Structure 1
C-alpha cells in the first residue's frame, strides 16, 4: 500500500510520543517509530533508511563532536575548571551574591572551552553547588543557577550544537560561532543581574575584594586555558582550520595542559577519560543516525512543505514566524535532546524561515538558544537533572527558582528575534565575505 501524508505523519509522530512516554530512550524511539512505515509502504525498504543513517554519519564535520567532548572531559579531569573558578572568583566575587556571580562567570569561561552544557553542569556544579550551600545560599537557588548558567555552554562559542547545525543545514560554523557570542554574553549579564537581585533580597554575601596580586595570580594560572577559545574560534573564523580540525586542536591542547603543564592528569586517568568520552559521544551520534532516518521520512511524505504552506497562509510576517519557530524549538526541547531536534525540526523549519526572510544564521541562533533552554526544563532538562543530583534535590523543589532565573534569559531570546543584528553584527564585521 501507499501511505498518505496525514496517516504517515500520525504514525511517525504518534508512535514516537508513545515510545517516549514508555521511557524508551529518544534515540531508540526515533528508530523504532520508522519501522511500521517501512513495513506498510511498498515504496520503502529497510535499506533506504539504513543508507540515510549511513549518509548522516558520513560527515567529516561530525568528528568534531567527540573531540570537543574529549576536550571538556580533559578540562574537568585535569582540574583546569578549578583554575577558571579561581579567575571568576577574583573577577566577580566582590559583588553581592559573590559565589552566584562566580557560578555564572565560570560557566561563561568554560563555555568558551568545552562547547558542552552537560560538561559545564557536571564539572562546575560539583565544586560550586556545595560551596554555595556552605556559604549560606539556598540549595534550591544554587542548583537552579548552576543548571541555568550551564546552558551558555552551547550558545557561547565553540558549541557542539552549532557544529551539528552547520553540518546539517550547510551553514558556516564560523559565522554561527560569532553570532552566538553576543547573545551568550547578554544571557550571562542577565543571569548576573538576577543573582544581584537575589543577593539583595536574601542578603547573600560577597567573597571579598581581591587585590591586584590575587588578580594577577589567577590570570597567570588560567591564561593557558583561556587560549583555547582563541585557538578554536580564531582558527575557524580565520579560515586556517575546519571545525573538526579545531576540535582536535582543542582536545590535543587540553591533553598537553593536563599531562605536561599542570600535571593534573596521569596516563592512568586517560583510560577512564576516553571511555566516558566514547560513551557520551556514541549516544549523541547514534541519535543523529536515527533522527536522520526519521527526518528523511518526514521529508519523503512532504511534511515540511505542508508546514511551510500552513504557516505562510497565516501571513505572520518575519517577527511572527520567528516567534512560532522559537516556540516550536522551546516545546520540542522539553521532550527531546537538542541534536535530534536540530535534525528533525530544524530541517523542517528551514524552508519556513527562508519563506519569511529570516537570515539562516539568525534562524540558527534562535533555534539553538531555544533548545538550550530545554536543557533546564522538565521532563528532559538534562542539565537540571545533573545539577539537582549534585545538590541532593529533586527537580520539583527547584522549579520555582528555575522559572525566575529563566525569565530574563527568555527576554534575551525575544530581543534576538526583534533585533537580528544582535546576532549578525559580529559575523558581518569579522567574516564580511560570508555575508556579501
Structure 2
C-alpha cells in the first residue's frame, strides 16, 4: 500500500468531501456515491474507471438482493388487489375503540404492512394516500397526521421481512433468519409506544373515537383478513424453518399476493397489475442503484484501509459492550440523517463490524442496533425520505411536521436504549426458536 498516491486520511477526505458536496448540491444519493469514486479511480495509477463498473456489477450479482424487488411487488399487489382494505377493516375492529381511532388504525396497519412489504417508503406512500387526508377531514391536525404516518412507516424496516435485514445479512454475512426473528420484539415495542403516543395526543386534543366493534364485526373482520395475514406467516415461517431462502420466500409472497388479488378477492385487473409492476420497477431501481454505487464506494474505502484507520483510534477507547452499543447507535443515527439506509449499511456497517466483534456484541444484536438506529433516519432531516413522502402527499413543508415527529421519536429512542442495554430484547426469540442462528 506504500505505492498508493493517497493516504487513508487523504482518501477519506476526497471520498467524503465530494460525496457531501454532491449532497449539498442536491444530487441524488446513489449518483453522489458514484461521482465521489471517480477522482480516486482517475488519479490512482493502480485503478481505472472499470473498477466502478465491476464493483457495481458484483453488488448486483447477488441472489439475496433479488428479494428486494419481489417484496416491493408484494406490497404493490396488496394495495391494488384489496388486501390492504381487509387489513384496514381488521385494524379498525381491533383498535377503533381507542382515542384517536383513525391514527391508531394507521399504526396497526403499519404493523400488518411491515410483516408483508419490508419497505418503509412503500408503507409511507401507500398509507399516506389512505390516511393523511382522511385524518385531516376528521379534525386531526395536519402536522400530526403527517408525523404519525411517517413515523409508523419505519416499522417496516424493523418488523420482518425487512429489506434492510436482507441487505445486512447479505453484506455482513449474518443469518437473515435470525434477523427476522430478532426484529419481532423491538418492532412490536415500537408499535406499542406509538399507540401510547397517539393516545396522549388524542386525549389532549380531543381527536375522535369510534364506537367499539360488535363481536360479529370483529370476527367478520378477522375472517376476511385471514388470507392476507397468512402472507407474513408464509414468508417468515418458510425462512425460519428452512423451507426456502429469503429470495424464494419473496417470490412465494408475490405468487400468494397475486393469487389473493386475482382469485380470492378478485379486485385486481390488468391495468392494476401494470401499475404494480411499474411502481415496483421504479422503487427497486432506486434502491438497487444505491446498493451498486455504495458497494463501489465501500470497496475504495477498503482499498485505502480507511476503516482500519478510523477504528484504530476508536479501539483505543477500550469500550465495553454497552458503551460500544451506544457508540454504534450514535454513528448510525447521525449517518442516517444524511444517507439512505442501504448504503449506510454497506459503508458504515462494514466499518463498525470489527468494533462490535471486539466488544463481544452478538452479530444479530449489532445488526438490530444498527437497523433500529437507521430507522430514525427515515424521518429525520435533511434526508428523511418517509417524512418527505408524507409531507409531499399532504402538501406541506417538512418543517411544519418536524415538531410532532421529534415528539413521537422520543418514546422510540427509549426502545432503542432498551435494545442496547438488554440484548435479550432482540436475542430472546432467535435463541428460543433457532439458537443455531446466533454467533
Question: Do structure 1's residue 261 and structure 2's residue 251 form an aligned pair?
Answer: no
- The answer on whether the counterparts of 1:81 and 1:124 sit within 8 Å (CA) in structure 2 is no
- Residues 367-412 of structure 1 show CA distances to partners (whole Å, capped at 9, x for unaligned) of 1111111111111111111111222221111111001000000110
Cα distance, 1:233 vs structure 2 = 0.1
Partner of 1:32: 35
Partner of 1:93: 96
> 340, 354, 357: which is aligned to 2:360?
357
Taking the TM superposition and a 5 Å limit, the aligned residue runs for 1:108-119 are 108-119=111-122
Taking the TM superposition and a 5 Å limit, the aligned residue runs for 1:113-262 are 113-262=116-265
Partner of 2:109: 106
Partner of 1:368: 371
Cα distance, 1:157 vs structure 2 = 0.6
TM-score normalised per structure 1: 0.98
Question: Do structure 1's residue 71 and structure 2's residue 74 form an aligned pair?
Answer: yes
- The answer on whether the counterparts of 2:178 and 2:438 sit within 8 Å (CA) in structure 1 is no
Cα distance, 1:69 vs structure 2 = 0.5
- The answer on whether the counterparts of 1:145 and 1:402 sit within 8 Å (CA) in structure 2 is yes
- Residues 54-105 of structure 1 show CA distances to partners (whole Å, capped at 9, x for unaligned) of 2211110000000001001111122321111111101001011111211111
- The separation in 2 between residues aligned to 1:398 and 1:31, in whole angstroms, is 32
- The answer on whether the counterparts of 1:53 and 1:289 sit within 8 Å (CA) in structure 2 is yes
Name stretches of at least 5 consecutive residues in structure 1 with no aligned partner.
none
- The answer on whether the counterparts of 2:363 and 2:438 sit within 8 Å (CA) in structure 1 is no
Aligned residues: 436
- Residues 170-205 of structure 1 show CA distances to partners (whole Å, capped at 9, x for unaligned) of 111110010000000000000011111111211222
Matched residue SS, 2:366: helix
- The separation in 1 between residues aligned to 2:197 and 2:279, in whole angstroms, is 34
> 2, 22, 25: which is aligned to 2:25?
22
- The separation in 1 between residues aligned to 2:312 and 2:159, in whole angstroms, is 34
Question: Do structure 1's residue 292 and structure 2's residue 295 form an aligned pair?
Answer: yes
- The answer on whether the counterparts of 2:41 and 2:51 sit within 8 Å (CA) in structure 1 is no
Cα distance, 1:288 vs structure 2 = 0.8
Question: Do structure 1's residue 318 and structure 2's residue 308 form an aligned pair?
Answer: no
- The answer on whether the counterparts of 1:84 and 1:109 sit within 8 Å (CA) in structure 2 is yes
Taking the TM superposition and a 5 Å limit, the aligned residue runs for 1:27-66 are 27-66=30-69
Query: Alignment RMSD, CA only?
Result: 1.1
- The answer on whether the counterparts of 2:8 and 2:309 sit within 8 Å (CA) in structure 1 is no
Name stretches of at least 5 consecutive residues in structure 2 with no aligned partner.
none
TM-score normalised per structure 2: 0.97
- The separation in 2 between residues aligned to 1:247 and 1:371, in whole angstroms, is 23
Cα distance, 1:2 vs structure 2 = 1.9
- Residues 40-61 of structure 1 show CA distances to partners (whole Å, capped at 9, x for unaligned) of 1122122333222222111100
Matched residue SS, 2:139: coil
Matched residue SS, 1:376: coil
> 379, 382, 387: which is aligned to 2:382?
379
Cα distance, 1:268 vs structure 2 = 2.6
Question: Do structure 1's residue 417 and structure 2's residue 417 form an aligned pair?
Answer: no
Cα distance, 1:145 vs structure 2 = 0.5
Cα distance, 1:127 vs structure 2 = 1.4
- Residues 233-277 of structure 1 show CA distances to partners (whole Å, capped at 9, x for unaligned) of 000000010000000011111111111111111123222211111
Partner of 2:400: 397
- The answer on whether the counterparts of 2:362 and 2:438 sit within 8 Å (CA) in structure 1 is no
- The separation in 2 between residues aligned to 1:386 and 1:53, in whole angstroms, is 28
- The separation in 1 between residues aligned to 2:253 and 2:107, in whole angstroms, is 23
- The answer on whether the counterparts of 1:287 and 1:339 sit within 8 Å (CA) in structure 2 is yes
Matched residue SS, 2:372: helix
- The separation in 1 between residues aligned to 2:56 and 2:271, in whole angstroms, is 36
- The separation in 2 between residues aligned to 1:49 and 1:382, in whole angstroms, is 26
- The answer on whether the counterparts of 2:88 and 2:105 sit within 8 Å (CA) in structure 1 is yes
Matched residue SS, 1:377: coil
- The answer on whether the counterparts of 1:3 and 1:40 sit within 8 Å (CA) in structure 2 is no
- The answer on whether the counterparts of 1:183 and 1:422 sit within 8 Å (CA) in structure 2 is yes
